[in-house]
Amino acid sequence: MSQDKPSAMPMPMPEWVRADIPETVSRALQEDVGSGDITAELIPADDHAEARVITREPMTLAGSAWVDEVFQQLGGSVLVQWHAQDGEQVPADTALFTLQGRTRAILTGERTALNFLQTLSATATQARDYADKVAGTGVTLLDTRKTLPGLRTAQKYAVTCGGCANHRIGLYDAFLLKENHIAACGSITGAVEKARALYPQRWVEVEVENFAELEDALATGCDVIMLDNFSLDDLRRAVKHVAGKVKLEASGGIDDTTLRSVAETGVDYISIGGLTKHVRAIDLSLRLVS
């Protein structure tokens, strides 16, 4: 990747994200290009062009590595020159990157590249908006597993570009004991004991819906207790009662209108599915300039 700014991103890209990019891009190109781009065949094979991609609205950038991979997989005949970095907030009508190379490859990769960029930047932009709303409260905003199918790692990365953090990545890296798990195990205590016995090093979080369950969860020594759909008064009461003995996470029905109030109750974390599932694609435009 060629950039006219330093290549370092505001935060390092985790290896588990980087490793997923080639396969994710390959699937996306296959579903779009299939057996070949017949429209691009209208253009002479040796024709070269330059193109610019601009954003029509303010945004936080995320997804540059996916764009780079699109044109790399199309033969590497297109140079991608970035004018902004992942995590950077850019105003409307800003040129995000320039493409130079074979016209066919530019036009064949256009939609796949922009699909990644508009979706991941939308996720980062949403995350940045939410993070700004709780600035100064000390709370950490977390995403959830409510991601677009096939884009789990990409959206998780985009959330961090917007200043929020990742909850568990999937069902394999941490326990989240919800109502049905607890019922199947017989009790909160039983569920936590089984989790600890199976995978002693894994993070164990327990979801509770009332103060009786909170007491049971607190007694298990779990790592986090999720307070599901607690009122603001009950969140404040829970924070005071727990007094730092365990991390507390608020979840359920929280949006941009209630976010700040929830953060000010003193909980450690707030998890919000809307960071990834309610995003609206950023309006991007690619135009040939020569």
Which of 18, 178, 247, 260 is the catalytic position? 178
Beta bridge partner(s), residue 101: 49, 78
**208 within 8 A of 191, measured Cβ to Cβ:** no
The catalytically annotated residue of 88, 110, 143, 228 is 228
**Any catalytic annotation for residue 178?**
yes
C-beta of residue 276 within 8 angstroms of C-beta of residue 121:
no
243-249: which pairs have CB atoms within 8 A and are 24 or more residues apart? 245/218, 246/217, 246/218, 246/221, 246/222, 247/223, 248/224, 249/142, 249/205, 249/224, 249/225
Active site residue 207: yes
| 111 labelled catalytic | yes
What's the angle, vertex CA 132, arms to CA 131 and CA 133, rounded to 5?
90
Q: Select which of 18, 111, 202, 260 is catalytic.
A: 111
Question: Looking at 207, 213, 249, 268, which residue is catalytic?
Answer: 207
Residue 5, token pair as written in the block:
């700014």
Residues carrying an active site annotation: 111, 146, 178, 207, 228
